[in-house]
Chains A and B, each alone.
Chain A
Amino acid sequence: MRRWSRRAYLAAVYLFLYLPLAVLVIYSFNDSRYAAGWKGFTLQWYARLLTNEQLLQSLVNSLVVALLSSIVATAIGTLAAVAFHRYRFPGRRVFYGMLYAVMMSPDIVMGISLLMFFILVGLEIGLLTLLLSHITFCLPFVVVTVYARISGFDPHVLEAAKDLGASEFQTFRHVLLPMLLPAVASGWLLSFTLSLDDVIVSFFVTGPTFEILPLKIYSMVRLGVKPEINALSSLLFGFTLVSVILSQLLVREKRA
């Protein structure tokens, strides 16, 4: 009886988490625009997405932003983690604390602070401002992931590199980076997903000249539920599903 009630509780929470998403995916295949009932299987809502040029453009924009910002954030974040761990420089602890603050700070505060900064320095709101913002909010996640891995290293390996005459860059390139690769990869994947999903920060730092998918969906959803949005949202959910499972498999492989 106790075991049964525990399982029921677990199942109820999973049902809560997944039922809306399951309904969303099922309805994206339903051959009816309005009805709540099942009217047969169709792919027409997915086909219609392909003819919506605005939507496709915003998807391309989103992918470009996510790809570029995740790569730059991973590069800077990895270097930053190394710097925080190996080097002593003024402001080191303050900066590390600032990164934690960025990670915890409400997205909306970050959005408006960046908006004010961009307007002050006279940057036009669009691709560039979006990239700078996304890199900034992804950065701490990369730093924390990579830093955790460096902390687990045997420091003698790095000393050995130095004794053998390696320069700082050579040590980084040939000793640290190969060892850090799994953390760098998961930092990148994290950044890519964060960037692709962000609504709140992007809302403030881009305009109608450069529209990205989450904002496009947001403006469509405000006008009501449509089967096309069901299809689009299902695709996004499917993308997350695949990338989470892939990253889990990666981690498992590494441990085995």
Chain B
Amino acid sequence: MKDRSLFKTAVIALVSLWIVALVCLPNLLVVAASFLERDEFRFVRPALTLDNYRQVFDPVFFAIFMRSFGFAAATTALALAAGYPFATLLARSRFRRTLLVLVVIPFWTSSLVRTYALIGLLKAKGIVNSLLLATGLVREPLSLLYTDGAVLLGLVYTLLPFMILPLYAAIEKLDPQLSEAGYDLGASRWQVLWHVTLPVTLPGIVAGSILVFLPALGIFYVPDLLGGAKSMLLGNLIKNQFLTARHWPFGSAVSVFLTLLMGLLLWGYYASLKRFNPDLAGTPR
């Protein structure tokens, strides 16, 4: 008798309907399209094929994939290298609440605005070149913009807060007694870092890396605005397949690929969470 509530039925229906219609269905469409042939006029033709997945391994596209993964991996590595000591210092600081807000502000600022801000810094008549010229370090303005270096800088710059925040959350929870126990048992600084601190904060490291790595593959406007004409990463590839090349099935196959990668990384995250914090892992029971 308790279960016969109109409110309850309506809520469950609304939530289920929304998720089925706007989450499940669209994603199934992408998977379906990735197995169909391209059609000039109706985008897809109902004929099954595996060509789109074969095309993923075509040398031209495969090169873009590898380049894109290279950029994403380098971005993640740089953000982790800069972010981990930073998050550690942040968690130990007396002013950590204020300092944390200062990380949250760029986290919430539009990445497009932040990318645009970088252009002002890097352009031929920008601040960096003016400083270099004024101090006599260079005679001609350097071409900093529209290079691979600018793209990498742009990715690290826009995504760094996404690395710092999960790292901070993991490091702040760290019990200082753990590392003290390590020192008491005669471990060196590096041994404590390697055997105590890093394993315990691993979920934060994995979470931050996912939050940097995946967007670094998809965020098409950073290479668009900071890179040269040939600067093409995975996000630009998908965008072009849908808007310029009009090859939806291939664009879908690339997206499925990206989603599978995400699934793999999330699985890794849960595995690391279960290993070190069994209580935290999992969805509602």
Contact = CB atoms under 8 A, between A and B. Distances in A.
Interface of A: 6, 9-10, 13-14, 16-21, 23-24, 27, 34-37, 76, 79-80, 82-85, 87, 89, 91-93, 95-102, 104-110, 112-117, 119-120, 132-133, 135-136, 139, 147, 162, 167-169, 172, 193, 196-197, 199-200, 203-204, 214, 217-218, 221-222, 225, 229-230, 233, 236-237, 240-241, 243-245, 248
B113 A222 contact: no
Contacts of B284: 84-85, 92-93, 96, 147
Interface in B18-72: 18-19, 22-27, 29-30, 33, 43
Interface in B199-233: 210, 214-215, 217-221, 224-225
Contacts of A20: 114, 117-118, 120-121, 157
A21 B117 CA distance: 6
B139 to A, nearest CB: 16
Interface string B116-138: 11111101011101100000000
Contacts of B19: 95, 98-99
A10 B255 CA distance: 38
Given A20-B121, A221-B119, A109 B255 contact: yes
Nearest to B211: A104
Nearest to A243: B108
A89 B12 contact: yes
Q: Point out which of A36, A96, A119 has the most chain B C-beta atoms below 10 A from its C-beta.
A: A36
13 contacts: A20-B120, A24-B116, A95-B15, A104-B214, A108-B239, A108-B255, A112-B238, A132-B22, A197-B112, A199-B221, A225-B116, A225-B120, A241-B109
Interface string B93-118: 10000010111111011111110111
A136 B23 contact: yes
A10 B220 contact: no
A237 B127 contact: no
Contacts of A110: 26
A10 B112 contact: no
A112 B12 contact: no
Given A93-B284, A199-B221, A17 B117 contact: no
Given A21-B117, A98-B23, A36 B127 contact: yes
Contacts of A230: 120
A102 B214 CA distance: 13
A97 B118 contact: no
Contacts of A96: 283-284
Contacts of B103: 17
B251 A112 contact: yes
A109 B218 contact: yes
Contacts of B278: none
Contacts of A36: 125-127, 129-130
Contacts of A101: 23, 262, 266
B177 interface: no
A204 B117 CA distance: 24
A122 to B, nearest CB: 13
Contact of A244 (B33, B104, B262): B104
A115 B248 CA distance: 11
B244 interface: no
B215 A107 contact: yes
A168 B8 contact: yes
Given A87-B12, A204-B242, A243-B108, A113 B26 contact: yes
